[in-house]
Amino acid sequence: MVTTLRTQGPARPADSFPTMNPATSEVIATFGVFGEDDVAGAVESAHRAASWWAGLSWKDRRTRLLAWKSYLTRYIGRLAELVHTETGKPLADAQLEILLAIVHIDWAARNARKVLGPRRVRSGLVAINQAATLEYQPLGVVGVIGPWNYPVFTPMGSIAYALAAGNAVVFKPSELTPAVSDWLVSSFAEVVPEQPVLQLITGDGRTGEFLARSAVNKIAFTGSAATAKKVMAACAENLTPIVAECGGKDALIVAADADLDAAADAAAWGALSNAGQTCVGVERVYVADGVYHSFLEKLIDRMAQVRPGDDREADYGPMTLPGQVEVVERHIADALARGGRAVVGGLASIRKPFIGPVILTEVPEESRAVAEETFGPTVTVAPVADLDEGVRLANASRYGLGSSVFARNKKAGMAAARSLRSGMTAVNSVISFAGVPSLPFGGSGDSGFGRIHGADGLREFTRPKSITRQRMKPMVNLTSFSRTDQDMRKLLNLATVLHGRRYK
Ligand code: TXE
């Protein structure tokens, strides 16, 4: 057991807490609990760092972010080992997660100027004498409150984009994954040693609340909808804006013409990888009647072969959040009590901290396993008449984060994708949208609001700045008390020509 007390920034927190390997309960390291003053101190120094960082050229920020990306790529083995130890997920999954984060840093660094930099926009006939310029300026300091399920990839969706947009970041990771976060923040300091542009503050929900109430200019939150409401309430005091990514209840719909092998393979991985602790994991499957039994057989076949564990051959690891085991247990018990059937696994699959794969069928739509986020290696499967009914049931959820459609008919697959109310949909694959950095990521309803990733993700951490510069005197000076009735008549005549045409 290695125990080290870590402190970050100018403050020295009095209390500390341990971080543990969820598979073995072995303590990995000890971190400080940041109190209100510690958090305020970190945010204050972040404001100074933000001025420095925002004062660099686009090219300088880009070079530094690309240097960070390169560092993470070269040391991926070490970071992956730490992610594996602190979350319990298999090493290869940890590597995949880091690779995805690297792709996002790269995209954010290379596209920030194009998306956010100053550009001329049309000023229109009425203001033809004005040169109009639009640019997106950094907010200042962004507070990132992160989760534990993808401790590199998920917070990076905010951190990389906020940094690329010219902000400093104060990062409060989940109390379950401070060691990974400490490594990430230290690695950034290797390439940007001048100022604390990216700082770590550690602690539980209280520390997160201090951050939400502090002098940050925006909060980027990932976690549960219930906690997002508390964070919003804390942010409300200072009218601090928030972007919230709060999990989901993603559905996968299988059309009658779908490639059933591909659909079953994707459903199994989407439901089980990372022990189901994925906000865009597959939790519900709706299958067209005619192929329901063939699909189910294939899914059973695949899921029955998958095994959790902490050995190198295990397909997925333990439940990272100990309390999640009870949630999964409750959902399975509720489904069975309401007449559902477990066709793979069941309550006996729960062997703390591991949970074996579970497939539930004939589960009423109003049961917990269908309506609430399970966040475990379980999936419900139900027959539907067609794609339309699948879409209707998928949309009948408080959540709206991701979804998948399997259909050979391209037009039908795309039509279903458009009708799904989720923020992202994958056609003939699962979760693929998370690896496309130019696509925004986020949801609606209980899944939250706002977007990370892509151009929208960059703009999320900026304020639009509009500038008009008068390039010549106007023909008619509208914004002057010297304006005459004749000027107004001219203007109204112009308006009639420009906008008065009748539309049928
Ligand atoms: O989340 P919390 P938890 C879902 C998933 C899981 C459930 C609970 O269903 O079972 O959330 O997980 C910080 N003010 N997801 O307990 O409480 C906290 O310290 C400010 C979905 O981990 O939402 C942590 O850093 N901050 C998800 C972060 O909020 C507060 C990923 C998330 O914690 C706070 C994780 C407060 N009052 C869980 N209270 C996804 N979207 O992928 C806590 N925190």
Q: What is the tens place of the pLDDT at every residue in 311-327?
A: 989 999 999 999 999 99
279 in active site: yes
What does the mean pLDDT of the chain come to? 96
Residue 245 has pLDDT above 70, yes or no: yes
**Max CA-CA distance within the chain?**
86
Terminal C-alpha separation, the chain: 77
pLDDT, residue 212, reads 98
pLDDT, residue 363, reads 98
- Given a contact cutoff of 8 angstroms between Cβ atoms, the answer to whether 224 and 247 are in contact is yes
Q: pLDDT of 58-90, one tens digit each?
A: 999 999 999 999 999 999 999 999 999 999 999
pLDDT, residue 260, reads 98
pTM of the model: 0.96
8-state DSSP, 308: B
297 in active site: no
Residue 128 has pLDDT above 60, yes or no: yes
Question: Does residue 212 line the site of ligand 1, with CB under 6 A?
Answer: yes
Angle ∠(483,485,486) on CA atoms, nearest 5: 95
Measured distance CA(25)–CA(38) in Å, rounded: 29
Measured distance CA(445)–CA(167) in Å, rounded: 28
Residue 476's pLDDT band (cuts 50, 70, 90): confident
Question: Does residue 319 line the site of ligand 1, with CB under 6 A?
Answer: no
Question: Does residue 209 line the site of ligand 1, with CB under 6 A?
Answer: yes
Q: pLDDT of 24-54, one tens digit each?
A: 999 999 999 999 999 999 999 999 999 999 9
**Average pLDDT, stretch 5-28?**
77
3-class SS letters over 311-372: CCCCCECCCCCCCHHHHHHHHHHHHHHCCCEEEECCHHHEECCEECCEEEECCCCCCHHHHC
Residue 9 has pLDDT above 90, yes or no: no
- Of 467, 436, 469, 465, nearest in space to 453 by CA: 436
Instruction: Please state the separation of Cα 117 from the chain's center in Å.
Output: 24
Residue 394 has pLDDT above 80, yes or no: yes
CA-closest residue to ligand 1 atom 14? 209
Residue 292 Cα to ligand 1 middle (Å): 36
Taking each continuous run of H as one helix and of E as one strand, the counts in the chain are: 16, 23
Measured distance CA(409)–CA(421) in Å, rounded: 20
Tokens for 361, please give them. Answer: 């069928």
Strand pairing partners for 6? 31
Question: Does residue 29 line the site of ligand 1, with CB under 6 A?
Answer: no
Q: Is 126 exposed, middle or buried (0-12, 13-18, 19+ CB in 10 A)?
A: middle
- Given a contact cutoff of 8 angstroms between Cβ atoms, the answer to whether 457 and 161 are in contact is yes
CA-closest residue to ligand 1 atom 43? 205
- Given a contact cutoff of 8 angstroms between Cβ atoms, the answer to whether 107 and 458 are in contact is no
Measured distance CA(88)–CA(24) in Å, rounded: 9
Residue 117 Cα to ligand 1 middle (Å): 34
Residue 125's pLDDT band (cuts 50, 70, 90): confident
Measured distance CA(162)–CA(458) in Å, rounded: 7
> Of 279, 283, 372, 373, which one is the catalytic site residue?
279
> Of 209, 245, 283, 460, which one is the catalytic site residue?
245
- Of 29, 1, 2, nearest in space to 16 by CA: 29
Residue 5 has pLDDT above 50, yes or no: no
Measured distance CA(264)–CA(235) in Å, rounded: 43
pLDDT, residue 2, reads 38
Question: Does residue 80 line the site of ligand 1, with CB under 6 A?
Answer: no
Which amino acid is located at 339 in the chain? G
- Given a contact cutoff of 8 angstroms between Cβ atoms, the answer to whether 418 and 395 are in contact is no
Residue 475's pLDDT band (cuts 50, 70, 90): confident
With H, G, I as helix, E, B as strand and everything else as coil, classify residue 385: coil
Measured distance CA(291)–CA(265) in Å, rounded: 15
Residue 8 has pLDDT above 70, yes or no: no
Residue 7 has pLDDT above 60, yes or no: no
